[in-house]
Structure 1
């Protein structure tokens, strides 16, 4: 990808992220699938079921279904996906895993084949295929943490986080709007797992967030509270940006 902060191919990195999660899931015992995840109210099996369901929604969107993620007025994305999981809870873990594998491969194939300027309907707004793939990478990464952390398993951070950090920065105007706030430009200077510095935004922006890219992504996924991070904020809007940061729709 040639967009600032996304030098590697997003489709290849989405495939690699799913492969890493697949490796984690393949080693789980039957008891582990029934354990509580870090996603409130969901078991490990529920989390993987959710990923399978949303990959199936992605396939429908790629096929042109503009109502693939439709929901009733007043129903949040979180509530909608929780209802989907509840409706199919209890499917054997082996079936859930194979369902996710089929769906994630089909969704990725579909995204690769999309014209670059096509707009795909999704939870909050239509997305380009590359941004759509970035959002899917962000969701798989966050839910991998939900699975690995309570089980005491390692899920190493990689430079694929660059895409998620880019997404978090890119959607700051949306995050501020959801919070009913206005803010000026914010730039980020983040250190990736390999030690590279990733810069996003106007280099002259007066507000700056700097520090760990992994922490930035965890805050955006609501897996870390901003006040518990080591990230530094400077300028009039940086601290507020970190507070409203999100890598997902609502």
Structure 2
């Protein structure tokens, strides 16, 4: 667990470098995520960490929080006892950092496969933290894009790419579509020059390209046609058209962007 927790800390630091000198006016600029500015993005990340800590440390309390979440964002914020309205962007960031530290402190002692209750099925502890890293990276891109800044391309992308590959079936099921039985092979060039691969070598359908581009596509920060990914076979294209590495209603890269 220490390795993935250390990587999440590093990803958080990278996001901090992007936002450390934003003015209050910049904090309120709309991001590519429809309806969200940079403040909203940090509130979302921090609230998820707050809930995650409860899920690990106090499962009974988590069930109450889950009920609040079902009633809406306002109810959830009330459950946390936080009024974000008077807070500056910088103050929200410091609050997020504190919530993330609490969450990491709660999960570090767990085993990789210890189960944590969540909004859908329970998750293994390592997968749970990996999902937090993926979400930090993807939402961090919304903020970086807003302000013309760049997140570093690191080996931590493997975590995001792995979730992207693992959620191929979810991308279909979430749309009420049958999951194809034929495999898709994925071959990605890592930031350090390594080749990351998933799926059988003999697969007819293949996704090839840069790991960074693949991560952008599966988190719907870019449509695959806006990347350098090379797709071979109809199932590779079909998957990339609907790829969704995160939970929630079915969306696509175009619909999640601001008008």
Same fold, judged at TM 0.5 (above) = yes
| Contact 1:189 1:197 survives alignment (8 Å) | yes
C-alpha displacement at 1:82, in angstroms? 8.7
Spell out the pairing of 1:86-101 with structure 2 (5 A cutoff): 88-90=83-85, 91-101=87-97
Match of 1:29 among 23, 30, 37: 23
Structure 1 residues without counterparts, runs of 5 or longer:
2-7
Spell out the pairing of 1:1-250 with structure 2 (5 A cutoff): 9-65=3-59, 67=63, 70=66, 88-90=83-85, 91-179=87-175, 180-183=177-180, 184-250=182-248
State how many pairs are aligned.
Answer: 240
| Contact 2:24 2:88 survives alignment (8 Å) | no
Quote the Cα distance in structure 2 between the aligned partners of 1:107 and 1:222.
Answer: 26
| Contact 1:119 1:127 survives alignment (8 Å) | yes
Quote the Cα distance in structure 2 between the aligned partners of 1:216 and 1:69.
Answer: 34
Quote the Cα distance in structure 2 between the aligned partners of 1:212 and 1:71.
Answer: 41
Label 1:41 to 1:236 Cα distance change in 2 as closer, same or farther (>3 A): closer
Quote the Cα distance in structure 2 between the aligned partners of 1:125 and 1:214.
Answer: 28
Please give the secondary structure, in 1, of the residue aligned with 2:142: helix
Quote the Cα distance in structure 1 between the aligned partners of 2:198 and 2:72.
Answer: 32
Quote the Cα distance in structure 2 between the aligned partners of 1:123 and 1:204.
Answer: 37
Task: State the partner residue of 1:4.
Answer: none
Label 1:110 to 1:72 Cα distance change in 2 as closer, same or farther (>3 A): closer
Backbone CA RMSD of aligned residues? 2.6
Quote the Cα distance in structure 2 between the aligned partners of 1:142 and 1:82.
Answer: 24
Label 1:209 to 1:133 Cα distance change in 2 as closer, same or farther (>3 A): same
Structure 2 residues without counterparts, runs of 5 or longer:
249-259
| Contact 2:168 2:239 survives alignment (8 Å) | yes
| Contact 2:210 2:228 survives alignment (8 Å) | yes
Structure 1 runs (4+) deviating above 4 angstroms are 79-89
- The C-alpha deviation readout for 1:213-241, integer Å capped at 9, x for no partner, is 11111111111012222211223411111
C-alpha displacement at 1:165, in angstroms? 0.3
C-alpha displacement at 1:176, in angstroms? 1.7
- The C-alpha deviation readout for 1:135-186, integer Å capped at 9, x for no partner, is 1111001111111111112222222111110111012112121121321211
Comparing 154-163 and 115-124, the one that deviates more:
115-124
Label 1:80 to 1:206 Cα distance change in 2 as closer, same or farther (>3 A): farther
